[in-house]
Amino acid sequence: MQAVTFPLPALSIAGWQHGPTQQKVTLCLHGWLDNADSFLPLTAHLPQLNLVAIDLPGHGQSEHRSADAHYHFLDWIYDVATLVKTAGWQQVDIIGHSMGAMIGSVLAAVMPQMVHKLVLIDSIGLVTGEASNITSQVRSAINHRWQSPNKQKPVYSDLQSAALARQSQSDFDLASALILAKRGTTPCPGGLTWSADMRLRESSAYRLLQPQAMQLLKDIQCPVLAILAKDGLQMMQQARQEYLHCYQQLELIELTGGHHCHMTQPEPTANAIRQFLLS
């Protein structure tokens, strides 16, 4: 495994590469407030894939957006599309978890030439909003932006303490929390704190409406594998009912485990991925 850095026009993206570099890139996109190392447990079971896992902007070891910018969902689509273009990858397979799966889904819809196959881990459909909520949505986003500069990140005495705090807000074990904490923390006075940009926690200024989300999903031309966790997020089970009919080519399987099943159940998750991507 080797560290990689991708300079983009506005910022630099960090990540790692594992596996045979002569093979097509399988780009790994993590979930909200996670980082590239969420895919580390899969590497032992996918040695034949050229895995490139990145920290999305504002996460892990990647740079934060500039002081006058924010984290709009659609900007992450631009980031990943620009990465694929500037890296010179003709076409990639994508493994996305949670928010990363949604980013991969929209990229596959709007840039079909870039995505060969798409794997969604405990994710299906897209997060949407109601038209009737737009006024309160924008108001909440403005208030959150005003508050962000005054918020302080928590400080932990050591990595174990940070991992325990992360575990308390998740559905996985301490070993998984340690994996994320190791890449997702940075030294600070008094110990360690999270490297993620505080602005990631701001409310979105807008959300896609459901008809827009459905149209994007219908425009995905590539084969899609959705791996849903039996004990995963309830919102994904609800989305399954709402969006299942939108995909042109969808294979859906259920695996034991929670939302981070690719970390806690890496072998069965990898087996499903391998069968799909290499068939």
Q: Does residue 200 fall inside a structural domain?
A: no
Give me the domain span that covers residue 86: 2-130+207-277
Residue 138 lies in a domain: no
What is the rounded CA–CA span in Å between residue 257 and residue 255?
Answer: 6
Residue 94: predicted pLDDT = 98
CA distance 257 to 261: 5
Which CATH number does the domain housing residue 14 bear?
3.40.50.1820
Whether 267 maps to a domain, the answer reads yes
Active site residues: 98
List the pLDDT tens digit at each of the 279 positions of the chain: 999 999 999 999 999 999 999 999 999 999 999 999 999 999 999 999 999 999 999 999 999 999 999 999 999 999 999 999 999 998 999 999 999 999 999 999 999 999 999 999 999 999 999 999 999 999 999 999 999 888 999 999 999 999 999 999 888 999 999 999 999 999 999 999 999 999 999 999 999 999 999 999 999 999 999 999 998 888 888 888 899 999 999 999 999 999 999 999 999 999 999 999 998
Q: Which residues contact 221 (CB under 8 A, 6 or more apart)?
A: 108, 112, 248, 249
User: Do residues 258 and 229 lie in contact, with contact meaning Cβ atoms separated by under 8 Å?
Assistant: yes
Phi-psi region of 91 (alpha: psi -120 to 50; beta: other; left: phi over 0): beta
Q: Is residue 159 part of a domain?
A: no
Structure tokens at 190: 């008094």
CB proximity list for 105: less than 8 A, separation 6 or greater = 96, 118, 120, 126, 216, 217, 220, 224
Give yes or no for a contact between 251 and 225, defined as CB atoms under 8 angstroms apart.
yes
Predicted TM-score of the model (pTM): 0.96
Q: Report yes or no on 11 lying in a domain.
A: yes
CA 17 to mean position of chain CA atoms = 17
* Residue 147 belongs to a domain: no
Provide the pLDDT for residue 238.
86
**In this predicted structure, what is the pLDDT of residue 233?**
84
At residue 232, the pLDDT reads 84
Question: Does residue 42 belong to any structural domain of this protein?
Answer: yes
Residue 193 falls within a domain, yes or no? Answer: no
Closest to 185 in 3D by CA, of 151, 161, 202 = 161
Q: How many domains does the chain have?
A: 1
Q: Are 63 and 93 in contact (CB under 8 A)?
A: no
